[in-house]
Amino acid sequence: MNHFLTIEGLTAGDLNGLLDDADEFVEVLHRPIPKVPALRGKTVATMFFEPSTRTKMSFEKAAKALSADTMSFSPGTSSLSKGESLKDTVLTIKAMGTDAMVVRHKATGAPWRIAEWIDQPVLNAGDGAHQHPTQALLDSLTIRQHFGTLKGLKIGIVGDIRHSRVARSDIQAFSTLGADVTMVAPRTLLPVDTEVFDATAKENLDEVLADFDVVYVLRVQAERGGASVFPSLSEYTDRYGITRERFARLKPEAIVLHPGPMNRGVEIDGAVADDPRALILDQVFNGVAVRMAVLFRLLGGESNE
């Protein structure tokens, strides 16, 4: 593995291998001193060309828990605002001395371009509505911890799949790991071509809700089209929100996940979000462990020398 850009093309063995490593890092993170010296002397640059709090902090925490140094970049205070090109920005930061770059960009494919320009590992921390592969790992880890396996689970991903990099990565990871995935959204929020995904598409949530072992609630992205993709937030909540009533109709052992940040009262009721069967903070914790696993895989060991 030279880069970590996408879930596409990874096998169940690849994914489970990373999740097994992540399990070990979960154990590290539970130690009194939650730190190992694996990447001492390495420098990880977190390059978030699009604002993010949790993913950026999670990667930085993961790098530090492996004893790597971190450098960070944010577009508002950089030369990008003076017109510097993406390529020049990347080459400049690389010249300062980095060993890997973690990239978030609102343009699809940006991490692939960067991987063409530099000869060191690039980790995709989210590009456009395309891929967010470490999110898929942390979601898979959270489900695997709870159920022991994803094989045979029915997972419903509910909401704005069309504009969601989380959904694209999750569908590929969950189905590769043997889950039966359903996408639930109004047609304006489903991908135009649903056939390319290893998942079933449904428009009516109430028809399928009671089948799910996992309900994965996507964030309503008000900035993505708003009124042109659904008539109003309250109509969205009526048809697709995980309300207390809908939560009561889930299988008793079913769990609820959300990638955050949540719009309480829109796609998820506040009481549902705070229920013990909503494993949203477990997802956040696992995020650090899976990012340690990926960084270690790319930068640790001798195969990279």
Catalytic residue set: 54-55, 82, 104, 132
Angle CA 269–125–100, to nearest 5: 150
How many whole angstroms separate alpha carbon 2 and alpha carbon 123?
9
Instruction: Give bridge partners of residue 4 from the DSSP assignment.
Output: 123
DSSP state at residue 210: G
| Binding status of residue 208 toward another protein by CB under 8 A | no
* Residue placing its CB nearer to another protein in the complex, 11 or 85: 85
Contact set for another protein, span 108-137 (CB under 8 A): 108-110, 112-113, 117, 128-130
Residue whose CB is less far from another protein, 128 or 265 = 128
- CB-based contacts of 109-114 (< 8 A; 24+ apart in sequence): 110/49, 110/86, 111/3, 111/5, 112/5, 113/86, 113/87, 114/86, 114/90
Annotate 65-82 with b (16+ C-beta within 10 A) or e (fewer): bbebbbbebebeeeebee
Q: Does 194 bind another protein (CB under 8 A)?
A: yes
In the chain, how many H helices and how many E strands? 11, 9
Per-residue CA distances from 55 to 36, 188, 238 (Å): 21, 28, 30
Q: Which of 168, 246, 258, 291 binds another protein (CB under 8 A)?
A: 168
If one asks whether residue 40 binds another protein (CB under 8 A), the answer comes out as no
Tell me the CB-side half-sphere exposure of residue 203, using CA atoms within 13 A. 6
Q: Does 202 sit near another protein (CB under 8 A)?
A: no
CB of 128 to another protein, least distance (A): 6
The nearest distance, CB 165 to another protein, in angstroms, is: 6
- Give the 3-state secondary structure of residue 117: helix
Contact residues for 13 (Cβ-Cβ < 8 A; gap 6+): none
| 147 in contact with another protein (CB under 8 A) | no
CA dihedral 14, 61, 106, 3 (to 10 degrees): -30
When the beta carbons of 165 and 297 are compared against another protein, the nearer one is 165
- 193 forms part of the interface with another protein (CB under 8 A): yes
Nearer to another protein, 187 or 264 (CB): 187
> How many residues in the shown chain lie near another protein by CB under 8 A?
26
CA dihedral (48, 102, 290, 17) positive or negative: positive
Quote the least distance from Cβ 80 to another protein, whole Å: 12
Should residue 104 be labelled a site residue for another protein when binding is judged by CB under 8 A? no
- Least distance from another protein to the Cβ atom of residue 157, Å: 14
Query: Could you tell me which stretch among 28-36, 104-112, 138-146, 178-186 binds another protein (CB under 8 A)?
Result: 104-112
Q: Should residue 227 be labelled a site residue for another protein when binding is judged by CB under 8 A? A: no
Shortest Cβ distance from residue 225 to another protein (Å)? 9
- The residue (of 90 and 250) whose beta carbon lies closer to another protein is 90
In the bound state with another protein, the residue whose beta carbon lies nearer, of 87 and 151, is 87
Starting at the edge strand found earlier in the chain, the sheet holding 43-48 runs: 69-73, 43-48, 100-105, 122-127
Footprint of another protein on this chain (CB under 8 A)?
85-87, 105, 107-110, 112-113, 117, 128-130, 162-165, 168, 191-197
